[in-house]
């Protein structure tokens, strides 16, 4: 069963990287590579295609059910949005949570502010998706300490700037 272990580890690796674009091609390439690299398994084309179909089904199910996917983090309120982003593994810091809870996205995005997708704010500008803001704040959390200075170039709506200001003022 070494080919099954190889395919299962490749499947987990794909979702660890959160890449769903061209997953099916990667899975098929994995089947072919595994049979080439491990000739003792003697995988026939039919076995490879059967394994590919099984993995394709698993991929589809995982994409539909995986709550860690960023586009599944939308909410009906700011609190629900922040909770879903944290639950989805986009951020884990209490400081990021507090800053995002204190800054209601509804004040910065006119339509569907709690949807986890970019929103138009006029003048050909957009406010980034909430998961992008959360990821940026999580990445910068060790630099956005009390008393630090931060510059947000191209601040757009100002949402991220306010969150950053809150993080440096705690």
Instruction: Give the residue numbers marked as catalytic.
Output: 128
Question: How many other CB atoms are found less than 10 A from the CB of residue 127?
Answer: 21
Token digits of residue 137 = 């704040």
Helix spans in 21-158 (H)? 23-37, 45-65, 78-87, 94-102, 130-140
Q: Please choose, from the candidates 36, 101, 116, the residue with its C-alpha nearest in 3D space to the C-alpha of residue 71.
A: 116
Residues near 144 by beta carbon (within 8 Å), at least 6 away in sequence: 95, 137, 150, 164, 167, 168
Query: How far is the C-alpha of 34 from the C-alpha of 118, rounded, in Å?
Result: 40
β-pair type (125-127, 119-122): antiparallel
Q: What's the helix, strand, coil split of the chain in %, to 5?
A: 60, 5, 35
CB-CB contact of 75 with 83 (8 Å): yes
């Amino acid at each position: 069963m070494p080919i099954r272990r190889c395919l299962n580890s490749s499947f987990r690796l794909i979702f660890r990287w959160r890449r769903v674009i061209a997953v099916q091609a990667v899975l098929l390439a994995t089947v072919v590579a595994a049979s080439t690299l491990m000739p003792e398994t003697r995988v026939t084309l039919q076995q490879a295609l059967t394994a590919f179909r099984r993995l394709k089904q698993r991929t589809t199910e995982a994409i539909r059910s995986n709550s860690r996917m960023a586009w599944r983090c939308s909410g009906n309120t700011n609190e629900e949005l922040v909770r879903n982003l944290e639950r989805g593994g986009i951020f884990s810091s209490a400081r990021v949570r507090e800053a995002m809870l204190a800054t209601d996205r509804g004040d910065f995005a006119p339509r569907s502010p709690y949807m986890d997708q970019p929103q138009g704010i006029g003048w050909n500008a957009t406010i980034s998706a909430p998961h992008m803001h959360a990821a940026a704040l999580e990445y910068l959390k060790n630099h956005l300490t009390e008393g630090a200075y931060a510059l947000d170039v191209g601040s757009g709506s100002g949402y991220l700037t306010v969150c950053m200001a809150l993080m440096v003022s705690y």
